[in-house]
Amino acid sequence: MTKKKINKGPEDSVKDYYKLSIQVSLNGLSFCILDTIGNSITLSKRIDFGKELSPYEVLKELKTLIRKEGILNYTFTDVVVIHRNTLFSLVPKALFDADELANYLKFNVKMLANDLAVYDEVSNYDLVNVYVPFVNLNNYIYELFGEFEFKHHGTVLLDSLLNLHNKGKAPICYVHVDGDQIDITVLEHKELLFYNSFYISSKEDFIYYLLFTLEQLKLDPETVKVRLFGTIEEEDDLYEIAYEYIQNIGIFMPTSDYPEQTEEDQKRVDFTVINAL
């Protein structure tokens, strides 16, 4: 689906200049409403379920969230839904065939017979992200708002990091933390060396995936630059265990296109939610 102006009345007004971004996953929900005139976040919230729910249960939570937060009181020019899961596979654009979506996923994703495979293009980087969206959640959003845009969270994350990454010669490992899911991205010379997403249940899981990734890429934990961001701070257990094994580690503070975004906004609003707009 492509972005289109939706739910607009016959006359433009200030209230029509809002954008909505919603991230959905089996472990939680988050959203933000952006005021494009004031260039600021009007409303935002994160919900962590504390466990993995079924898509049907997530739909019930989403309906409750939209009702409680009064989201339908706004009129939006754009609505974007981000699907956060590990049901994806990156494909070089030169090897991509839109008729073979299921085949790109079958070796590393457990698909059901009725699962729908779709894809995003990672802008300007000759990559295609093939993934399985939450179809029931898309259907509900369509009922509310009409046509909208949806993406995989990995698409938004990669596109944002590739655009933010400087042109330094040394590789940088970015680790995005969001509850019990982490995304590890390694970039060098504006090129993608590695990207994958993992579920973790302990700090030991976290350091295992991080160190294993560095080992496979032959990157030295004593010299490689590792930057953590998302729902993590320096005093967290995940940061402390990473600090034990990695010499050049720190918290990454992404720049934002929205200067009115406060520090509290940054804690409530996921990196991919704000960068999808």
In tens, the pLDDT along 191-227 reads: 899 999 999 999 999 999 999 999 999 999 999 999 9
Residue 12 confidence (pLDDT) above 50: no
Residue 273 confidence (pLDDT) above 50: yes
Residue 168 confidence (pLDDT) above 90: no
The vertex-221 CA angle with 156 and 216, nearest 5°, equals 65
Stretch 114-129: mean pLDDT, rounded? 90
| DSSP code per residue over 103-125 | HHHTTTS---TTPPPEEEEETTT
**pLDDT for the residue numbered 264:** 55
pTM over cut 0.95: no
Question: Could you tell me where the DSSP H helices lie in 15-134?
Answer: 55-68, 101-105
16: confidence class by pLDDT, cuts 50, 70, 90: low
**pLDDT for the residue numbered 166:** 65
Please identify which residue in the block is written with the tokens 């008729």. Answer: 99
Residue 54's Cα: distance from chain center in Å? Answer: 19
Stretch 104-114: mean pLDDT, rounded? 81
**pLDDT for the residue numbered 4:** 36
111: confidence class by pLDDT, cuts 50, 70, 90: confident
Task: Write down all domains in the chain, each with its CATH number in brackets.
Answer: 88-122 (no CATH), 165-251 (3.30.420.260)
**pLDDT for the residue numbered 215:** 97
